[in-house]
Amino acid sequence: MELKADHLGIGYSGKQIAFADRLELNTGQLTGIIGINGSGKSTLLKTLEGNLRPISGEISIGDRSIMDFKQSELAKMMSMVSSRSSISSALTVEEIIRLGRQPYTNWFGKLSKTDKRIVEKAINTLQVSDLKLRYFDRLSDGQKQRVMIARALAQDTPFILLDEPVTHLDMYHQSVVFDLLRTITRKNNKGIIFSSHQINVVLDICDELIVIDEAAIYQRSVQHWLEGDALKGLFPSDHIRFDEATRRFRLK
């Protein structure tokens, strides 16, 4: 399945902050979004999720515009992991992950056997089964992130969008999350799109890379980015340079 955007202008209250000629995201692909602070990474994710109206252009899933989806149908296509939401401390980990099944349950939210199996699978994939009965706010940041990814996985959508999933994590837990994203993309055939400031890791693990640079959004394969000169100009050159030999950004 494909998540596509054509001539997409993104921004708030009529003011465009960036423009993409064409984006094409596929299931089974891991896509990273990079760009400096304030370049519009979160705005792009929100727009793709359908939480923010595009200024111009159109987003479609499987050739159907997301405007034509009902909210409940869209919830079966895309799930998200946000970095800013304030989550109630009065819910247990299991309750939160079960909420992921909402698009599929009846008005009373009763879980069928299938629902329970999918929840159980998500819990096992993210290795949070020993946290099931804990309250969310008693968890460490790394655990919280795993729980929220498990919730998104339980929603069982072809696409998962994550806004800076490793921001508050130390290096070890960052690598845990990145590893999980890569595994889920391959094993569960998901299309995972995430924004991050960890450019070097993104270059290592992603298939596709979306770069937001000076109000323009480009998408190419990681290979393509590495071969060209495009990455050299991403940051002002006074402090950081791109080292082609090691495929790493380095401090000068």
Strand pairing partners for 193? Answer: 31, 161
**For strand 159-162 and strand 191-195, is the pairing parallel, antiparallel, or unpaired?**
parallel
The CB-of-237 to another protein minimum distance in angstroms stands at 37
Comparison of 134 and 241: residue with beta carbon closer to another protein: 134
Measure CA 65 to chain center.
Answer: 20
Do residues 93 and 132 lie in contact, with contact meaning Cβ atoms separated by under 8 Å?
yes
The CB-of-125 to another protein minimum distance in angstroms stands at 19
| DSSP H or E run through 136 | none
Comparison of 1 and 36: residue with beta carbon closer to another protein: 1
The CB-of-161 to another protein minimum distance in angstroms stands at 9
Comparison of 126 and 211: residue with beta carbon closer to another protein: 126
Amino acid (one-letter) located at 96: I
Amino acid (one-letter) located at 78: M
The CB-of-75 to another protein minimum distance in angstroms stands at 3
Comparison of 99 and 139: residue with beta carbon closer to another protein: 99
Measure CA 64 to chain center.
Answer: 21
Do residues 34 and 242 lie in contact, with contact meaning Cβ atoms separated by under 8 Å?
no
The CB-of-217 to another protein minimum distance in angstroms stands at 22
Comparison of 123 and 211: residue with beta carbon closer to another protein: 123
CB atoms within 10 A of CB 144: 20
Task: Catalog residues that contact another protein under the rule CB under 8 A.
Answer: 49, 51, 71-76, 78-80, 82, 84-91, 95-96, 99-100, 102-103, 105, 107-109, 135, 137, 155
Comparison of 109 and 228: residue with beta carbon closer to another protein: 109
Terminus-to-terminus CA distance in the chain, angstroms? Answer: 42
The CB-of-191 to another protein minimum distance in angstroms stands at 15
- CA dist 155 and 122 (Å) reads 9
Q: Is 14 left (phi over 0), alpha (psi -120 to 50) or beta?
A: left
